[in-house]
Structure 1
Amino acid sequence: MTFSDLGLHADLLRAVEAQGYSIPTPIQQQAIPAVLSGRDLLASAQTGTGKTAGFTLPMLQRLSQGKRPGKRQVKALVLTPTRELAAQVGESVATYGVHLPLRSHVIFGGVGQQPQVDALKPGLDILVATPGRLLDLHQQRHVDLSAVEILVLDEADRMLDMGFIHDIKRILKVLPPKRQNLLFSATFSNEIQTLATNLLDNPAFIEVAPRNTTAEKIDQAVYRVDREKKRDLLAHLITQHRWYQVLVFTRTKHGANRLAEQLSKQSIPAMAIHGNKSQSARTRALSSFKSGELQVLVATDIAARGLDINELPHVVNFDLPNVAEDYVHRIGRTGRAGSEGEAVSLVCVDEDGLLKNIERLIKRNLEKRVEPGFEPDPSIKPEPIENGRRQQRKPSRRSGPAKAERGAREGSARRRQRS
């Protein structure tokens, strides 16, 4: 099957071809016809399967068909949980819509809002936004959502995870009741099912991968190591195996900073990204990492959500996540769109319980390795994990949207989360 078989117009096919794509992924094969038909959609697929193009392409086609002369109004609204994901979705909209008479823009927190206000004034067809900044600008009457025809919730599971459910409900109240709703999620949790029941009308359902499974082409392994030797082991593995473009996950922002500094001192170019970093610093680090100038990018879970790096070869869990589902999200950064990847976890005795939870979730036992020279000391006793996220997440209880600093809160994944 080709993209032309899916009913896409010539202008979109030209844009797809220019990006070097000819065969749609499974999620695209199912989602594109469903969206083109005007149906609501609930799609669950692991990261790296082409979800963004799965809704971007048919959304662009539907909007271009209904384009009328006159002032532009926001006809499609795409909500994402993080700045990075918003920027990447916006880039996809611009890339695939290059031959269409549609105008789009991206708004998110963590940066000054005036340039975004200026971009909104001439009118837009497609708006990509994080919930907090969108509510701020709507409250200030800079955004009119009364004409929205298509709503997309991208990475909906992470938005719920980050406590955005109340913001989403506020946004839904100002949208027209008659619209097409598209809900995309990396996992299909019970919370997502509840949201889908309340939001979607007789939706098409797509589940490309079994619930909470990990990509088959990812080589997953665990290195047993003492907690105090983790940093040295990571530096050793990177140097010994000549790893380049390594995405490393830590549990905390402080841990990310400390690890990046230590690797840099060992002549391994590394930078950290997390919610306390400015947007310009995060953009600069990500750009250097994508281009290959930066060997190692150290990130917390929230900062790394939605990162789209072609053929990323290595993901390292320096700290195991407290929530098992986050393991699936993390290693989903590699092995994307059919390419091979390697996911390595450095596990000390403190994390044995977390490892068991992960193996139970993914229904497989991970290969255990011990690197010579880094053998764990069997006499070391487990200690409580400091600054870990709570196993049971609770929704945010904010009573109303904060104003100027809302964006900074979004970027830090809500200060209630310690990552």
Structure 2
Amino acid sequence: MDILKILSRSTKHVNKSTREKDASSVKLPSAGNSSNPQLYHDAVPNSRGMKRKRDAEQDDENSREPVEEAVNFFATKSSAPKSSSQHSAEQSMKAQEKDSTATPANLLDEEECRQLLRSHRLKVTLLPPSNTTAKKVKKSKKNKTTTKPKTKDEYTQVYPQPLMTFRDLRTTYGISGRMATNLAEQGYKIPTEVQMGSLPLLLKPEFALGTSSEEAEGAGKGKGLDLLAVAPTGSGKTLAFLIPAVNQIMQRRRTEKDKDEHVLQAVVIAPTKELASQIVNEAKKLSLGTGVKVVGMRKGLKIIGALDVEAGAESSSEDDEEEEEELSKKPVQGVAKADILVTTPGLLLSALSSDVPEKHHPLPTVQTLVLDEADVLLDPLFRDQTLGIWEACTNPDLRVTLWSATMGSNIEALASSTIYSRRTKLGIEEGSRIVRLVVGLKDSAIPNITHRLTYAATEPGKLIALRQLLHPTAKSADGTLSLRPPFLVFTQTIPRAVALHAELLYDIPAEAGGSSRIAVLHSDLSDSARSQVMTRFRNGEIWVLITTDILSRGVDFRGINGVVNYDVPNSGAAYIHRVGRTGRAGRDGGVAVTLYTKEDIPYMKNIANIIAASEKQAGKPASEASMQKWLLDALPKPSKEEKKKLKMYGVEARRGGLGAGKEGKEAKGGKGRMQISTKSGYERKLENNRKGAIQGSRRRKQEFEREDRIEQPAAEDTEWGGIDE
């Protein structure tokens, strides 16, 4: 008996040709555009509650029976015989195209809209007014607060007309021909779920709501509506709020005599400069040739017209007139007259600041306010700035839209109360109820990427695991999915990002580009440096980009093959936005790797639940899911206090970045335990002693000089012995 056969019995020999074939068949986000950017493709039930037309009954009966076709061997591929599944798919596409040419006189009935929205997992709800919020009742025995269940009348679900193709924007919803041409040139054909549900509501609410306009209580009176949209990352939310904003400005300018005059009518607020710059680029592509001017806010710029409103107010005293003359004589450095202004909250609020504290110049011409990544803008970090801009928009016809992939109930309640209180303050009695649009499962990760949780035990283990991912031959446990560049690496703090970049700087061989293929980006860099890194990464010059959460929201890298969470994110929402940098616009093959250590185990349950929900949405059976029930049950559940501290400061052991915890104290578990370094403890000890000796020498020199000036005895114990590891 051959011993070699016995030892190799359990192994599988794969030919080189088969391996190359399997590698070529793997789909990657960097391979190109997806044919269908939609995330959900559930089958439309035809037999449940569907109203059938008499004229179509005969066609339906004939379509059930297979028709034999003669085989033509000389026919082209397009005329080849088709299977029954292909035939039914073409019939459904033709039906959708036929329905997409619907006119206001030929609306889809409510049942058809309901089935189409359900097939794409769209849910549209009218939020209750602020005065119908649930009341909290305290229990005397347990001293716990309970909330009364809300009635069905408070939350009304509606089924608006869905947008089936981008051609309908021109034929049915009346956008300009130039903007329709711009969309066609950029390759937009099939709308995503959020575009399918939001564009009809924002362009023509009276047509979109149809029979539900009475329930919307005035949403279809031509004044627009306020919208809260919750959709997965990479689902096209930017285009969904830019098309109505540009179209609304063009409709107003058609009635004006001076069409070359630009008046600020729409403001888009984003939390980071990178996201704001991206929105400006997309808006310029969309408004090319339309005459609509889009400007990105820069530091030091003032808004033309904000001071003129107060200067034009009537004043009874001569002193006020003199002040107005002085203001008019002062050169105002203004934004080049814009129709749409894209900004971060801090820049715009500082431009609107006045001499009186807590009072800002108004923006009376703004009629559209867009909050992109609204949950961050209304979080305590940006809340005061965002609400200050909101209050500065004094136009009674202001319409607000809020967009994000994650939106908690507290953010939703804050937005609703702000909208309704503003209406009460301005004396607006009649107004539409706020519409909420949810795509898929609320606050969940996209279902078209692969999630991996890798236990690295310690910090050196995480560094080793990341170095393995840098090799092109690195593969996962199943041997099919591998993380290939380009990809992003997220860390918890800026010092950790800088230290990790220094460690990996020479890991990529010189033949592949060397240190130029890896870069770091964080908020401490200048605007020009950040812009340069972003440009190089988009051009493919950088393969591995190490960054913080500054790039976790909204930034669109369509060719990203994967995301590595070197440090565990601070919350479930942060994880959703981080991994959403891959798998954009329906692209398959993205991989999200999360490295965790022993210190991260208490915070992993929330991430594991998000991964389980994402795999369930993707239709993966329970036997093949990576998050098994026993693992979810074994992970500890963090308390509310621990979640709050994690969200505010991150993991305690890494709060200071290089081994130091909060307030400069050393992390638990020893000095320098959380350092990102491959130096030995002896080398770090010598380096620290050398630095300490230099500091001690300088201190002794300063003390001797001080003694000579004041003629005092020398202080004892001024020697410094260095820093022990």
Q: State the one-letter code of the partner of 2:599.
A: D
Q: Do 1:247 and 1:315's aligned partners in 2 also have CA atoms closer than 8 Å?
A: yes
- Asked whether 1:249 is paired with 2:497, we answer no
Could you say what secondary structure the match of 1:292 adopts?
coil
In structure 2, the residue matched to 1:20 is 187
Aligned residue among 486, 496, 502 for 1:261: 502
- Asked whether 1:87 is paired with 2:274, we answer no
The structure with the largest strand share of the pair is 1
C-alpha distance in 1 between matches for 2:403 and 2:454 = 33
- Asked whether 1:34 is paired with 2:201, we answer yes
RMSD after superposition: 2.6
1:150-195 deviation line (CA, Å, top 9, x unaligned): 1111110122336111111211221123311111121120222112
Q: State the one-letter code of the partner of 2:296.
A: V
Q: Which moved more, 1:81-90 or 1:6-15?
A: 6-15
Instruction: Tell me by how many angstroms 1:119 deviates.
Output: 7.9
In structure 2, the residue matched to 1:331 is 579
Identical aligned pairs, as a percentage?
32
C-alpha distance in 2 between matches for 1:161 and 1:174 = 19
Instruction: Tell me by how many angstroms 1:257 deviates.
Output: 0.9
Unaligned runs of 5+ in 1: 369-387, 395-415
Aligned residue among 169, 173, 177 for 2:387: 169
Taking structure 1 as the reference length, the TM-score comes to: 0.83
CA change 1:56–1:151 in 2 (3 A) is same
Q: Which moved more, 1:288-297 or 1:202-211?
A: 202-211
C-alpha distance in 2 between matches for 1:265 and 1:115 = 45
Q: Do 1:245 and 1:296's aligned partners in 2 also have CA atoms closer than 8 Å?
A: yes
In structure 2, the residue matched to 1:316 is 564
Q: State the one-letter code of the partner of 2:450.
A: D
Could you say what secondary structure the match of 1:151 adopts?
strand
In structure 2, the residue matched to 1:3 is 166
Q: Do 1:315 and 1:342's aligned partners in 2 also have CA atoms closer than 8 Å?
A: yes
Instruction: Tell me by how many angstroms 1:362 deviates.
Output: 4.7
C-alpha distance in 2 between matches for 1:20 and 1:361 = 32
CA change 1:194–1:39 in 2 (3 A) is same
CA change 1:390–1:282 in 2 (3 A) is farther
Q: State the one-letter code of the partner of 2:521.
A: I
Could you say what secondary structure the match of 1:391 adopts?
helix
CA change 1:277–1:122 in 2 (3 A) is closer
Higher RCO, Cα 8 Å, sep 6+: 1
In structure 1, the residue matched to 2:237 is 51
Q: Which moved more, 1:359-368 or 1:238-247?
A: 359-368
C-alpha distance in 2 between matches for 1:182 and 1:114 = 25
1:114-141 deviation line (CA, Å, top 9, x unaligned): 5998884542111111111101111269
Aligned positions of 1:172-191 closer than 5 A = 172-176=390-394, 177-191=396-410
Could you say what secondary structure the match of 1:271 adopts?
strand
Aligned positions of 1:196-211 closer than 5 A = 196-200=415-419, 201-211=432-442
Could you say what secondary structure the match of 2:228 adopts?
strand
Q: Do 2:303 and 2:352's aligned partners in 1 also have CA atoms closer than 8 Å?
A: no
Larger Rg: 2
C-alpha distance in 2 between matches for 1:350 and 1:155 = 30
C-alpha distance in 2 between matches for 1:153 and 1:26 = 19
Unaligned runs of 5+ in 2: 1-163, 205-223, 305-331, 420-431, 475-482, 509-513, 616-624, 628-642, 650-661, 665-725
Instruction: Tell me by how many angstroms 1:282 deviates.
Output: 1.2
In structure 1, the residue matched to 2:207 is none
Q: State the one-letter code of the partner of 1:148.
A: V
1:302-336 deviation line (CA, Å, top 9, x unaligned): 34322111131110100111222211110011111
Could you say what secondary structure the match of 2:402 adopts?
strand
Q: Do 1:120 and 1:143's aligned partners in 2 also have CA atoms closer than 8 Å?
A: no
Taking structure 2 as the reference length, the TM-score comes to: 0.49
Q: State the one-letter code of the partner of 1:98.
A: L
Q: State the one-letter code of the partner of 2:646.
A: Q
C-alpha distance in 1 between matches for 2:361 and 2:286 = 24
Q: Count the aligned residue pairs.
A: 374
Aligned residue among 500, 509, 528 for 1:280: 528
- Asked whether 1:229 is paired with 2:461, we answer yes
